[in-house]
């Protein structure tokens, strides 16, 4: 009955989800919806299970954007974790994340170099950091900024 199989699909460009910046694109910059990207690690069956340092770093950036402080604490290694995370400054707006380098160093260590940009009260800020990550069991944790 259905004749729908003949409907031609638009040919997708090489970077399908990046144009038009639809509202549900993941804040971390990957070409996927929040639900299919960092949102998976913020809640649900894959909660806290980002599979590699870069994915964890991106999901932590998205957690800053969405102010999911419980996730930031839960993915911070207990040896370095602060007791709490301050609420975001008034008027803080995250502008984007650029991952410059991500490396897994052996079984249980990794590092990610990134630049994150934000704006507070009209002033732009740029955070350039090399983050260190450690794995324990099936979970990666943010350890600290290097250097």
Considering the complex, what minimum distance in angstroms separates the CB of residue 41 from Zn ion?
A: 9
Nearer of residues 80 and 115 to Zn ion, judged by Cβ: 115
Considering the complex, what minimum distance in angstroms separates the CB of residue 83 from Zn ion?
A: 27
Q: Map residues 50-89 to x or -, x wherever contact with Zn ion holds by CB under 5 A.
A: --------x-------------------------------
Nearer of residues 35 and 127 to Zn ion, judged by Cβ: 35
Residues in contact with 85: Cβ distance below 8 Å, sequence separation at least 6, in sequence order: 69, 72, 73
116 sits near Zn ion (criterion: CB under 5 A): no
Site residues for Zn ion, 16-45, by CB under 5 A, read 26, 28, 30, 37-38
Torsion of Cα atoms, 68 then 69 then 75 then 78, to 10°: -170
Considering the complex, what minimum distance in angstroms separates the CB of residue 42 from Zn ion?
A: 10
Considering the complex, what minimum distance in angstroms separates the CB of residue 91 from Zn ion?
A: 24
HEC states along 41-78?
HHCCCCCCCCCCHHHHHHHHHHHHHCCCHHHHHHCECC
Instruction: Measure the CA–CA gap between 51 and 84, rounded to whole angstroms.
Output: 25
97: Cα within 13 Å, side-chain hemisphere: 23
> Which spans of this chain sit near Zn ion (rule: CB under 5 A)?
26, 28, 30, 37-38, 58
């Amino acid at each position: 009955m259905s004749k729908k199989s003949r409907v031609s699909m638009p040919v997708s460009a090489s970077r399908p989800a990046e144009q038009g910046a639809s509202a549900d694109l993941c804040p971390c910059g990957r070409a996927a919806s929040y639900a299919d990207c960092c949102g998976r690690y913020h809640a649900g069956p894959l909660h806290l299970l980002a599979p590699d340092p870069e994915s964890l770093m991106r999901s932590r950036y998205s957690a800053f954007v969405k102010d999911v402080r419980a996730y930031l604490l839960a993915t911070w290694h207990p040896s370095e974790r602060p007791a709490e995370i301050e609420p975001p400054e008034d008027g803080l707006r995250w502008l984007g994340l650029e991952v410059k380098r991500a490396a897994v160093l052996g079984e249980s260590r990794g590092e990610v170099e990134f630049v994150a940009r934000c704006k507070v009260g009209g002033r732009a800020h740029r955070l350039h950091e090399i983050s260190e990550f450690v794995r324990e069991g099936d979970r990666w944790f943010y350890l600290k900024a290097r250097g």
